[in-house]
Amino acid sequence: MQYQSNFYNTEIFNAVQSAGLFSDSKVFADAIAKIPLAEIENQYVMQRPTGEALIRFVHAHFDFVANQELDSLPDLASAAQYISALWPRLSRKPSTVAKGSLLPLPHPYVVPGGRFNEIYYWDSYFTALGLLDANRGDLVEGMLDNFISLIDRIGHVPNGNRDYYQSRSQPPVTALMVDLLWQHKSDDVQWLERVTQALIKEHRFWQTSGDVDNIEQKAQFRVVKMPCGGTLNRYWDPLAAPRPESFVEDVELANTVANPSALYQNIRAACESGWDFSSRWLANVEDLASIRTTQIIPVDLNALLVLLESQIARCLEKLNNEAQALHYDSLASKRSALIQQYCWCDEQGWFYDVSLDDYQPTTIASLAGVVPMFAKLVTAAQAQRMADKLAREFLKPGGLVSTLTSTSQQWDSPNGWAPLQWFAVAGLRSYGLDQLATEIMQAWIYAVETGFSQLGCLLEKYNVVEPNKQASGGEYVVQQGFGWTNGVTSRFYQLLALEADSPLG
């Protein structure tokens, strides 16, 4: 498979990105050529413009898409009104032909906002929560159909619908999207058959080279052979090159290490995790160059893969394919047992990532550890201990911190992110731990509404330790919009309203 177009290997791409013509490398990666790229490259090689001449050359030969969803947005009185007003502005029309790096999708979809003018795989699930609250189930159905289209074309749902994202995926949430629509769609046999085949293909993507007997090393591609003989999974990317959308940042960091190829691959694997970047992946939490994502067995990924395997079994059972359903149920049970065996730390009362070096839990406590509870893989006693740790160590005035480690990376303390709040709240509620779930929802809404009162918009992430301060860290400025924040916050508003209306509320 050719994961990337030749554009990213051209002299003009290297020259423009290396010259730093744009403050964000993603701008040029997303540019749309006005004439065939081969002609642009030939003209560039003949002229080799630099400085102001290069700027003129680029603007003469490429179009750039502006981020317009917040332009002329009326003054809104509340965060809830803002969320409702923004859904149409974050929606994009379907297309049949590629535009620049943008991969076509057959149905309308919702983007996160800001610099992110394309779908992002795992973002879409959390966004869908809010779309359902807004009675836009049709849009959620279309987004799931887009996932199925991508799986059919590429073999998996890529990080996003950009050409340069095809080499990697993100935390697998297609099964969660299916679950959101299950009640209304599962009696449609044609829909169910199509969904089942897509889920099986996605599972195959994660399990490629996953035959235990054929794995000679500890890990191969995304599959890890455990000492007991079972298999778990890791994040991985086959490409060992700078990311086109973060070209300058990657090259600058690579100049500080002895093995740039390994660095590039570990950075890309971290992007597949969705946690780009976090102390979860760092040997030295103060140094991004120490990134070692491919040496970590992530607890959240494997819990989500249990849900994928269980959802496949559920679909097959409804299609009366009992033998295959039992097969995937068995895979889910085996993976769940391995998560308990390797990821649970009884001393800490928490689930951790595991190091591939020694198969022991890492020392980084993160909200990835709540995903087994979200997936209903834990005992009631474990859930209570996890709730105690959440309340004691993770919960801050504005919600849950991503990790208990404070660094300059955006997926660490003091930052909190909507998807992680949802994993925790949904997990707690499924074990009857509603009081803490309510406290987390209220704290998160406090952070969101504090930010809204200051800026008049919702953001990608929040400083949950000090909600009056804006979140920081990462490769770009905090983005406005924002798909998954809108979706999760909308769902929290709904759940809190239901609690208030309840006789027990």
For every residue of 161-227, DSSP letters joined together read SBGGGTT---S--HHHHHHHHHHHHTT-HHHHHHHHHHHHHHHHHHHTT--GGG--SSEETTEEE-T
Same-domain status, 58 and 102:
no
How confident is the model over 277-303, as a mean pLDDT? 99
Same-domain status, 54 and 99:
no
User: How far apart, in Å, are the Cα atoms of 452 and each of 17, 88, 463?
Assistant: 35, 19, 13
How confident is the model over 214-241, as a mean pLDDT? 91
How confident is the model over 20-31, as a mean pLDDT? 96
Has residue 146 been placed in a domain?
yes
Percent of the chain with pLDDT over 90: 90
Q: What pLDDT does residue 187 have?
A: 98
Same-domain status, 53 and 95:
no
How confident is the model over 225-240, as a mean pLDDT? 96
Cβ contact 419:366 at 8 Å: no
Q: What pLDDT does residue 501 have?
A: 79
Residue 83: Cβ within 10 Å count:
22
- Is pLDDT above 80 for 216? no
Task: Tell me: cis bond preceding 36? Omega within 30 of 0 counts.
Answer: no
Following CA atoms 500, 501, 504, 505 in sequence, which dihedral angle do they give, to the nearest 10 degrees?
A: 10
Has residue 361 been placed in a domain?
no
Using pLDDT thresholds of 50, 70 and 90, give the confidence band for residue 345: very high
Q: What pLDDT does residue 214 have?
A: 54
Cβ contact 484:123 at 8 Å: yes
User: How far apart, in Å, are the Cα atoms of 439 and each of 359, 375, 427, 434, 469?
Assistant: 35, 21, 14, 9, 21
Q: What pLDDT does residue 4 have?
A: 53
Domain C-terminal end among 27, 47, 63? 63
Q: What pLDDT does residue 478 have?
A: 85
Predicted TM-score of the model (pTM): 0.96
Percent of the chain with pLDDT over 70: 96
- The per-residue pLDDT of the chain, averaged, comes to 95
Q: What tens digit of pLDDT does each residue of 482-503 get? A: 999 999 999 999 999 998 876 6
Q: What pLDDT does residue 448 have?
A: 98
Cβ contact 495:502 at 8 Å: no
Same-domain status, 38 and 104:
no
| CB burial string 41-52: b at 16+ within 10 A, e below | beebeeeebeee
- For the chain, the domain total comes to 4
Same-domain status, 203 and 107:
yes
How confident is the model over 103-112, as a mean pLDDT? 97
Residue 63 designated active-site? no
What is the domain extent for residue 253? 244-294
Has residue 226 been placed in a domain?
no
Q: Rounded to whole angstroms, how far apart are CA atoms 419 and 411?
A: 12
> Secondary structure of the chain: what % helix, strand, coil (to 5)?
55, 10, 35
Q: What pLDDT does residue 444 have?
A: 99
**The one catalytic residue among 245, 250, 460, 475:** 460
Using pLDDT thresholds of 50, 70 and 90, give the confidence band for residue 198: very high
How confident is the model over 229-239, as a mean pLDDT? 97
Q: What pLDDT does residue 489 have?
A: 99
**CA angle (444, 344, 382) in 5-degree steps:** 65
Using pLDDT thresholds of 50, 70 and 90, give the confidence band for residue 136: very high
Same-domain status, 137 and 250:
no
Among residues 334, 428, 339, 350, the alpha carbon closest in space to that of 382 is found at 350
Q: What tens digit of pLDDT does each residue of 397-456 get? A: 999 999 999 999 999 999 999 999 999 999 999 999 999 999 999 999 999 999 999 999
Lowest-confidence pick of 31-35, 143-147, 208-212, 469-473:
208-212
Residue 71: Cβ within 10 Å count:
8
Q: What pLDDT does residue 1 have?
A: 42
Among residues 244, 246, 242, the alpha carbon closest in space to that of 264 is found at 242
Q: What pLDDT does residue 267 have?
A: 99
Q: What pLDDT does residue 65 have?
A: 84
Has residue 310 been placed in a domain?
no
Q: What pLDDT does residue 2 have?
A: 47
Has residue 389 been placed in a domain?
yes
**The one catalytic residue among 118, 141, 276, 412:** 276
- How deeply is 469 buried, as exposed, middle or buried, from its count of CB atoms within 10 A (0-12, 13-18, 19+)? middle
Between 478 and 266, the higher pLDDT residue: 266
Same-domain status, 162 and 113:
yes
Same-domain status, 281 and 395:
no
Residue type, 392: R
Using pLDDT thresholds of 50, 70 and 90, give the confidence band for residue 504: low
Domain C-terminal end among 263, 294, 325? 294
Same-domain status, 14 and 104:
no
Has residue 167 been placed in a domain?
yes
Between 460 and 214, the higher pLDDT residue: 460
Strand partners, 206: none
Residue with tokens 């991969």: 103
Residue 460 designated active-site? yes
Q: Ramachandran region of residue 295, left (φ > 0), alpha (ψ -120 to 50) or beta?
A: alpha
Same-domain status, 280 and 184:
no
Same-domain status, 384 and 495:
yes
Strand partners, 282: 291
Strand partners, 32: 63
Has residue 249 been placed in a domain?
yes
How confident is the model over 115-129, as a mean pLDDT? 97
**CA angle (118, 301, 155) in 5-degree steps:** 55
Same-domain status, 177 and 102:
yes
Has residue 342 been placed in a domain?
no
Q: What pLDDT does residue 347 have?
A: 98
Using pLDDT thresholds of 50, 70 and 90, give the confidence band for residue 98: confident
User: How far apart, in Å, are the Cα atoms of 177 and each of 32, 121, 229?
Assistant: 31, 11, 32
How confident is the model over 114-124, as a mean pLDDT? 96
Q: What tens digit of pLDDT does each residue of 348-381 get? A: 999 999 999 999 999 999 999 999 999 999 999 9
Q: What tens digit of pLDDT does each residue of 311-335 get? A: 999 999 999 999 999 999 999 999 9
